Amino acid sequence: MICLTLAHKTIDECVSDVRMNRQYIDLCELRVDFLCDKDRERAYLFPSLVDVPVILTVRRKEDGGAYSASEKRRKELLLRCLDGDFAYVDIESDIKKGDVEEKAKQKGVKIIRSLHDFSGVPSDIYSKIYNLSQKGGIAKVCLYLNSFSDVLTLFRIQEELKGVEKIVIGMGPYGVCTRILYHFLGSILTFASSNEAAPGQLSAAELKRIYRADKINDRTAIYGIIGNPVSHSFSPVIHNQGFKTINYNAVYVPFLVDNIRAFFSLAETLKIRGFSVTIPFKNEVLSFLGNVTREVKQIGSCNTVVRVPGMWKGINTDYYGFIAPVLPEIESSRIKSALVIGAGGASKAIVWALRNYGVKVIILNRTLERAEDLARMNFCQYDSLDNISKYSKTVDLIVQTTPSGMVPYEDENPAEGYVFSGNEIAYDIVYKPKMTKFLIEAEKAGCTLKFGSQMLIEQGKLQFEAFTGYHYPQSIILDEE
Ligand code: ATR
């Protein structure tokens, strides 16, 4: 079930939030603590104004809520609210049996016993959940995840506490994957919001339309992307749309990872079938692979990993994604020479691809040694990025492969000093924003432009084939904007 958290000042705003999200949600949670004083008094009316079951919550400040008056007044407020037809009431784990619980039971309102920890995952979390469940009702834990190891701990809850009815939420950026894969935590629901009421919360539309989170079941195959950062990635849209179109019971999830070993451990726990790899793991992932393709060996970096019997296999689809949009120009000899800015993981695949097609390449990098190493591997020229002006108007293609120019560095242009002739093809692998400063300058000079989104989509389609064995559906029109 997808539950919409309503953290607004007025009942009217809460009602319109439910109406706007109605098609994506199964129930909602009224956070009475966020309502203004006047509307707190009429909160009991709320369930009659919407057509979904409602959870009643008056969260205290110390638990991450907005209620700061006395405990006595909070209980009085809860009792008044229970005059309305709420389906559930949230009662914190430290609250002793009393009038609120009594009234809820009399009215057939289900009790959720909640525990919040904004500092991290307690070491005795499994017994804490078990103890909560023993008090009767649904046990709920909301924990801030500080690292990927915390993600692992959360996904083991289901193994430890299989028969327990529970709600488990991982908060913060590391928790995003737990909010999508809540079924694998054994959680009966996940929370969504239109104003990120808790850190890491996704919108109901994202959970339902992109991830189909409410349709995930034991047989759902899990795929994903590992990176740091990863939240900006467009890959979940590419793959989840593909899965849906070919009717494949699978989900593709962003995993923010700080420790790649911990991720491989989770990959075993969840039986993850395959994943994409982005900054900064394209090199580090190699040591975890039992088998790699010839391209991965030669390029020295891997952006796609699939499970094969007994091991993980590494593939590189970046080189194809990069070359596909310029292949016609290479084949017609419009492109015979190229300047490549940057010498990192992405540049490795790009330089390899260009050399493979016989294009003459000059690598320019901020750190000269890295340019030299890459140039040596691929038999091409190199220089310091400081000397870029020397290469003005000398090449057919200029490729920008660094994160400079990408959000939040939109004001940067690593090719500053280069004077375009207007005959070059300018290619930026950054896809957010679409028009980087580098591409704006190139367009002014009259150059043909190639966009990072084209590369992303092409490499994603090939990755989809590696994951599923099917071609990417032609009917899908992808546009990252
Ligand atoms: P990726 O795997 O995405 O290529 P990477 O391996 O960290 O990431 O490489 C990033 C590339 O962008 C490097 O070539 C880096 O230059 P250095 O080798 O000197 O570090 C380059 N880069 C990053 N920020 C840059 C900036 N502000 N200006 C110019 N080059 C930059």
Pocket lining: 414 vs ligand 1, CB cutoff 6 Å:
yes
**Residue 103 Cβ contacting ligand 1 at under 6 Å:** no
Give the Å distance between the CA of 280 and the centre of ligand 1.
Answer: 11
Q: Please tell me if the CB atom of residue 343 comes closer than 6 angstroms to any atom of ligand 1.
A: yes
Q: Which residues participate in the annotated binding site?
A: 233-235, 278, 303, 318, 342-346, 365-370, 429, 431, 452, 459
Q: Which two tokens stand for residue 349?
A: 């695949």
Q: E strands within 318-463?
A: 337-341, 360-365, 381-384, 397-400, 425-428, 448-450
pLDDT one-digit tens code per residue, 368-426: 999 999 999 999 999 999 999 999 999 999 999 999 999 889 999 999 999 999 999 99
DSSP character for 471?
Answer: P
**What pLDDT, on a 0 to 100 scale, did the predictor assign at position 197?**
66
Residue 399 CA, ligand 1 centroid: distance in Å: 13
Nearest-CA residue for atom 27 of ligand 1: 404
Detail the residues annotated as belonging to a binding site for shikimate.
Answer: 233-235, 278, 303, 318, 431, 459
How far away, in angstroms, is 313 Cα from ligand 1 center?
Answer: 26
Helix (H) or strand (E) holding 113: strand 110-117
178 lines ligand 1 (CB under 6 A): no
Mean pLDDT of 242-250: 97
Give me the pLDDT at residue 201, please.
87
Q: How far is the CA of 177 from the centre of ligand 1 (A)?
A: 28
Per-residue confidence (pLDDT) for residue 209, from 0 to 100: 96
Asked whether 366 lines ligand 1 (CB < 6 A), one says yes
Which numbered atom of ligand 1 lies nearest the CA of 409?
27
**Does residue 307 have its Cβ closer than 6 Å to ligand 1?**
no
pLDDT tens, position by position, 71-86: 999 999 999 999 999 9
Question: What is the reported pLDDT for 279?
Answer: 85
Does the pLDDT value for residue 318 go beyond 70? Answer: yes
pLDDT of residue 480: 56
Helix, strand, or coil here: 34? Answer: helix
The answer, yes or no, to whether the previous bond of 236 is cis (omega within 30 of 0) is: no
What is the token pair recorded at 328?
């016609």
pLDDT for 17 equals 97
Residue 478 has pLDDT above 90, yes or no: no
8 A C-beta contact, residue 441 and residue 417: no
- Ligand 1: atom nearest CA of 283 is 2
State the closest ligand 1 atom to the C-alpha of 402, by its place in the atom list counted from 1.
12
- State residue 231's pLDDT score: 87
Ligand 1 atom 22: the closest Cα is on which residue?
Answer: 402
Q: Please choose from 233, 303, 363, 366 the residue to mutate so as to test ligand 1's pocket, defined by most ligand atoms within 8 A of CB.
A: 366
Distance, CA 312 to ligand 1 centroid (Å)? 28
> How confident is the prediction for the chain on average, in pLDDT?
95
Please give the helix or strand (H or E) that residue 71 lies within, else none: helix 71-81
| Closest ligand 1 atom number to CA of residue 370 | 18
Ligand 1 in reach of 430 Cβ (< 6 A): no
Give 21 Cα–ligand 1 centroid separation in angstroms: 41
Q: Is pTM, for the whole model, over 0.85? A: yes
User: If you measure from the C-alpha of residue 367 to the centroid of ligand 1, how many angstroms do you get, rounded to a whole number?
Assistant: 9
As to burial, measured by CB atoms within 10 angstroms (0-12 exposed, 13-18 middle, 19+ buried), residue 134 is exposed
CA of 346 to the centre of ligand 1 (A): 9
In the chain, what is the straight-line distance between the N-terminal and C-terminal CA atoms, in Å?
29
Note the pLDDT of residue 481: 54
Q: Does residue 35 sit in helix, strand or coil?
A: coil
Q: List residues with catalytic annotation.
A: 282
- Compute the average pLDDT of residues 334-362: 96
Query: What own/partner pairs with CB < 8 Å and gap ≥ 24 does 406-411 have?
Result: 406/430, 406/432, 406/433, 406/436, 407/232, 407/432, 407/433, 410/436, 410/437, 411/437
- Pocket flag, ligand 1, residue 48 (CB < 6 Å): no
* CB of 342 closer than 6 angstroms to any ligand 1 atom: yes
Hey, whose CA ends up nearest to atom 12 of ligand 1?
Answer: 402
Looking at the CA of residue 301, tell me the nearest atom of ligand 1. 2
| Pocket of ligand 1 contains residue 350 by CB under 6 Å | no
Structure tokens at 129: 């959940």
DSSP 433: S
pLDDT single digits (tens) 80-123? 999 999 999 999 999 888 999 999 999 999 999 999 999 999 99
- Ligand 1, residue 347: give the atom nearest the CA: 4
Most informative mutation of 402, 404, 418 for ligand 1 (most atoms within 8 A of CB): 402
Per-residue pLDDT at 357: 97
346 lines ligand 1 (CB under 6 A): yes
Rounded CA gap, 239 and 48, in Å? 40
